[in-house]
Structure 1
């Protein structure tokens, strides 16, 4: 369990990010917009990078050059407490956590995937905690996230290639929505990249889900951009837009190519009784 930060230690939010989410259904931000200094956070960032260095291949798509870990946490908005939930025992990965996108992922429709958990040592990482609480602060203006426990999904994703003939793709490899409640938000925090081409992000209308960005009229595309600097990112209010990241291929430098990103999903827990 992680206790809530003291009130004067909780992250400050940038009103422009929240305003853009409320107005447009998406927002882009630099690290400074989240009151973060990547250099000052170098030790915590290095710990996160260390986990990326040993990410296991996606067990459901081992030949896509995609690597990942995923865990759940629960946030109580009336106390500010955040609890990581234990994963299920697994003979290969130690513990795994269920990841479900109902029918919003055409590659895995209604499949409850069980993904390798984050290492428990990472739960207390001060930068990770700060990012989670900052993202929550940018989403909890929505009434549906103020009176119920909040589901937080923490996802480490790496696209990695080693040869010029290889590509690494996200899932699904098209514009999509993550599904679930109309109160679902997704926050993406860029961790870093090395020797790659591609990885363009696209935000488009919700009706564009299932399509490729280049097949859309200009009026359907809200934004196209590529992330470069650590801790820069974007956020989407899921049901109001669709989003996409393009494939990654090897760049012109030496050594392998990688794109590393931290995804934090936020949604209300629903009653099951």
Structure 2
């Protein structure tokens, strides 16, 4: 856990979320069920971050519709972290138990996201800052695992109906299924993205000394679809 928390502490600023105090890395991996083999996909060389990975949420992201983004890669040392790999493989096991996916590769998008607040009254915001869906395949499942939460308030998770996407959780038209807050390391949840919308509220520095942060591992899993 300590190594993984250090990796989150060193995350670069999300280049597509200026002023939100959000820090992020992202990489792709592929799992071959018939071999029980998990492989990270090499990133694209980049002069600033070493390597980067393409990321797109299609039309489901209201702030970047159909926009292909390029995000800093998860470095090799963290890709080999035992806890990260254990969580990733656990998520894969849950999906394989729900669907007959043993004859198709499973595509994984792995996000490391930290919301960091250094000053009193400062907010850190996760985007899109509304109820939303992650997009992609109708078979996409999204898992979230809290890695650490220190000296912050807020960060409430909200799960609602797909028709609530684009709304704020407090909107009277939002049809909310559940509200909860991840508080302890390895707290988590999972959603079938096609069937719900979801949101995490901003975090603000708490009353304790020093900066505050909320670090979460997010894994999106979907069956690989050939393009030929």
Scaled to the shorter chain, the TM-score interval is over 0.9
2:217 to 262, 265, 271: 262
2:33 to 59, 77, 86: 77
1:46 has 2:5 as partner: no
Unaligned ranges ≥5, structure 1: 1-44
- Rounded to whole Å, the distance in 2 between the matches of 1:69 and 1:242 is 23
Aligned match of 2:226: 271
1:245 has 2:212 as partner: no
What are the within-5 Å matches in structure 2 for residues 48-127 of structure 1?
48-127=4-83
Aligned match of 1:29: none
**Structure 1 stretch displaced more, 257-266 or 156-165:** 156-165
8 A Cα contact 1:145 1:267, kept in partner: no
1:140 to 56, 74, 96: 96
Deviation at 1:60, TM superposition (A): 1.4
Deviation at 1:270, TM superposition (A): 1.1
Deviation at 1:62, TM superposition (A): 2.6
**Which of the two has greater strand per residue?**
2
8 A Cα contact 1:144 1:183, kept in partner: no
Deviation at 1:250, TM superposition (A): 1.4
Q: CA offsets per residue over residues 218-268 of structure 1, 9 Å max, x none? A: 8x2111001111001000000011111001111111111111100011011
Structure 2 length-normalised TM: 0.96
8 A Cα contact 2:140 2:221, kept in partner: yes
What are the within-5 Å matches in structure 2 for residues 6-25 of structure 1?
none
Unaligned ranges ≥5, structure 2: none
Structure 1 length-normalised TM: 0.81
- Rounded to whole Å, the distance in 1 between the matches of 2:172 and 2:140 is 25
1:213 has 2:169 as partner: yes
1:225 to 176, 180, 192: 180
8 A Cα contact 1:192 1:260, kept in partner: yes
- Rounded to whole Å, the distance in 2 between the matches of 1:221 and 1:118 is 33
8 A Cα contact 1:144 1:268, kept in partner: no
8 A Cα contact 1:142 1:183, kept in partner: no
Count residues with an aligned counterpart.
228
- Rounded to whole Å, the distance in 2 between the matches of 1:142 and 1:182 is 14
- Rounded to whole Å, the distance in 1 between the matches of 2:183 and 2:42 is 33
Please give the root-mean-square deviation of Cα atoms over the aligned residues, in Å: 1.3
1:174 to 116, 130, 136: 130
Aligned match of 2:152: 196
**Which of the two has greater helix per residue?**
1
